[in-house]
């Protein structure tokens, strides 16, 4: 079966900003894009070895209506929520939190110096799942399948499937309605990689180190840039004279109305207003 390679149709350059208690980060996908990357709502990269850039962390704050995926490359974060759950995220670890009906949590650095580097992705939930009970999937680095490619290159499978020869390998996360694919890909110079995906899924590539050529013929995507890929069922990545690392993201679009306000993502303004009332009245998490 011949696959059709997706082409790079839009490029977004991440913008430096801050969130939480002054944490400096790069915002790549934001509400300003008005659901152009359905079901992906937000993507942040935080990366600094200056403690002042991250030490304030993200104190207690609420969420409703979507999922957050936190992926750590370096450093350590402590997650706590109103139910008494704790998660210690260290290099290579992933937390997939389904906020759904409501969660109040904090995410605080577990270090006072050194490099803190990672990503947080928000994925929308379908309307029928927005008010379900919240839950978590926590994965240590050793639990995330890693496919070794030539010369030390690799793919880490956080979510989704990949055919390695005749073996189908499934990522750590499963059972998500939007059928997400979330790969961390590391390529050496002069390497190519094809990643089959569902033709109907939204597909994004975020380069966080080096430079990649996307599609065929390839168009360049540099570090700090996100590309949207359309029309096809294959993603083609290629490096030239330098190595590169990227996140490859794909998921089934929900094609539902989206209204976002701060930490809440719902389907209507009325539902957003209800979320704020529930939070104010102390019943968001009940």
What's the pLDDT tens digit per position in 158-202? 999 998 888 899 999 988 999 999 999 999 999 999 999 999 999
- pTM attached to this predicted model: 0.96
Rg value, the chain, Cα: 18
Question: Is 260 within 8 Å of 84 (Cβ atoms)?
Answer: no
Place of tokens 């096809």: 232
pLDDT tens digits for 207-256? 999 999 999 888 999 999 999 999 999 999 999 999 999 999 999 999 99
Find the length of the chain: 286
Residues 6+ apart with CB under 8 A from 250: 160, 180, 181, 197, 198, 201, 202, 203, 204, 235
| Cα–Cα distance for residue pair 33/37, rounded to 1 Å | 8
Domains of the chain: 7-280 (2.60.120.10)
Question: In the structure encoding, which two tokens stand for residue 237, read together?
Answer: 């990545």
């Amino acid at each position: 079966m011949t696959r059709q390679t997706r082409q790079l149709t839009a490029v977004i350059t991440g913008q430096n900003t801050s969130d939480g208690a002054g944490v400096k980060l790069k915002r790549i996908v934001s509400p300003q894009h008005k659901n152009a990357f359905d079901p992906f709502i937000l993507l942040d990269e935080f990366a600094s070895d200056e403690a002042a850039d991250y030490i304030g962390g993200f104190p207690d704050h609420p969420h409703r209506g979507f999922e957050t995926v936190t992926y750590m490359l370096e450093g350590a974060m402590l997650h706590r929520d109103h139910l008494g759950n704790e998660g210690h995220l260290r290099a290579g670890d992933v937390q997939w939190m389904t906020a759904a009906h409501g969660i109040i949590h904090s995410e605080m650095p577990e270090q006072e110096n050194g490099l803190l580097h990672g990503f947080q992705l928000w994925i929308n939930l379908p309307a029928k799942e927005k008010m379900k009970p919240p839950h978590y999937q926590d994965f240590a680095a050793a639990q995330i399948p890693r496919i070794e490619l030539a010369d030390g290159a690799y793919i880490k499978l956080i979510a989704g499937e990949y055919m390695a020869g005749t073996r189908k390998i499934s990522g750590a996360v499963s059972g998500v309605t939007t059928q997400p694919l979330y790969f961390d890909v590391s390529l050496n110079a002069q390497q190519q990689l094809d990643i089959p995906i569902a033709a109907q899924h939204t597909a994004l590539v975020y380069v966080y180190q080096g430079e990649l050529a996307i599609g065929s013929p390839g168009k360049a995507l540099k570090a700090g840039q996100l590309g949207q890929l359309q029309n096809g069922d294959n993603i083609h990545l290629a490096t030239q004279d330098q190595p590169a690392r990227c996140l490859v993201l794909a998921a089934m679009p929900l094609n539902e109305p989206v209204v976002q306000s701060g930490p809440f993502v719902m389907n209507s303004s009325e539902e957003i207003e209800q979320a704020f009332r529930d939070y104010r009245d102390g019943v968001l998490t009940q």
